[in-house]
Amino acid sequence: MRFTKFLLGLFLIATSSVFAQEKQITLEEIWDGTFSQERLESLESLNNGTEYIVLNQDRKNATSSIDVYDYKSGEKKGSLINSANLKEISKFQGYKLSVDEAKVLLGTQMDQIFRHSSKGIFYVYNIASKFLQKLSENKIQEPTFSPDASMVAYVFNNNLYIKTLATGKEIQITTDGKKNEIINGVTDWVYEEEFAFVRAFDWNKTGTKIAYLRFDETKVPEFSMSIFGEDLYPEVTTFKYPKAGEENSLVSLQIYDLKSANSSTVELGDYKDFYIPRIDWTNDAKILSVQVLNRHQNNLDLIFVNSEKNVAKVVMNETDKAYVDITDNLTFLEDNSYIWTSEKDGYNHIYHYDKNGKLIDQITKGNWEVTNYYGFDAKTKRVYYQSTENGSVNRDVYSIKADGSNKKRLTQKTGTNNADFSTDYTYFINSFSNTKTPNEFTLHDSKTGKLERKIKDNSKLLEKEKAYNFSPKEISTIEVNGNELNMWMIKPSDFDPNKKYPLFMFQYSGPGSQQVSNSYFNSNDYWYQLLADEGYIIVSVDGRGTGFKGAAFKKVTQNELGKYELEDQIEAAKKLGVLDYIDQDQIGIWGWSYGGFMATNAILKGNDVFSMAIAVAPVTSWRFYDSIYTERYMTTPQENPEGYDENSPINHVEKLKGNFLLVHGSGDDNVHVQNSMRLIEALVQENKQFDWAIYPDKNHGIYGGNTRLHLYTKMTEFIKENLKTNINLNNKNNI
Neighbours of 456 (CB within 10 A): 16
Task: Please say whether the beta carbons of 196 and 629 come within 8 A.
Answer: no
What's the CA gap between 448 and 692, in Å, rounded?
55
Using CA atoms, how far residue 303 sits from 318, 335, 360, 361, in Å, is 12, 17, 18, 20
Residue 372 DSSP SS3: strand
- The runs of H, that is alpha helices, within 584-706 are 594-605, 627-634, 641-646, 674-685
Which of these is catalytic: 568, 668, 669, 697?
Answer: 668
Report phi then psi at 525, rounded to 5: -65, -35
Q: Give me the long-range contacts of 87-96 (CB less than 8 A, separation at least 24).
A: 88/123, 88/132, 88/134, 89/123, 89/132, 90/62, 90/63, 91/57, 91/62, 91/63, 91/64, 92/64, 92/123, 93/64, 93/120, 94/42, 94/55, 95/42, 95/55, 95/66, 96/143, 96/144, 96/145
**CB contact at 8 A, 385 and 366:** no
Q: Please compute, for residue 146, the number of CA atoms within 13 A of its CA located in the half-sphere on the CB side.
A: 18
Buried b (16+ CB within 10 A) or exposed e, 300-316: bbbbbbebeeeebeebb
Whether 58 is a known active-site residue: answer: no
**Residue of 307, 337, 593, 611 with catalytic role:** 593
Specify which residues 212 forms β-bridges with. Answer: 201, 254
- Give the rounded distance of the alpha carbon of 232 from its chain centre: 37
C-alpha distances in Å from residue 450, one per residue of 286, 410, 459: 42, 8, 22
Q: How far apart are CA 217 and CA 592, in angstroms?
A: 30
Phi, psi of 621 (to 5 degrees): -150, 130
Q: Which of the following is catalytic: 444, 664, 672, 700?
A: 700
Give which of 511, 547, 548 is closest to 629, Cα–Cα: 511
Where is 315: in which H helix or E strand? strand 311-319
Torsion-angle region of 374 (φ positive above 0: left; ψ -120 to 50: alpha; else: beta): alpha
Give the up-direction half-sphere exposure of residue 390: CA atoms within 13 A in the CB hemisphere. 18
Rounded to an integer, what distance in angstroms lies between the CA atom of residue 191 and that of residue 133? 32
Nearest residue to 542 via CA among 518, 560, 578 = 518
Contacts for 569 with CB less than 8 Å, ≥ 6 apart: 505, 507, 509, 541, 543, 589, 598, 602, 606
593 is catalytic: yes
- Which residues fall within 8 angstroms of residue 365, CB to CB, at 6 or more apart? 345, 349, 404
668 is catalytic: yes
Residue 295: φ, ψ to 5°: -65, -35
Instruction: Please give the positions annotated as active site.
Output: 593, 668, 700
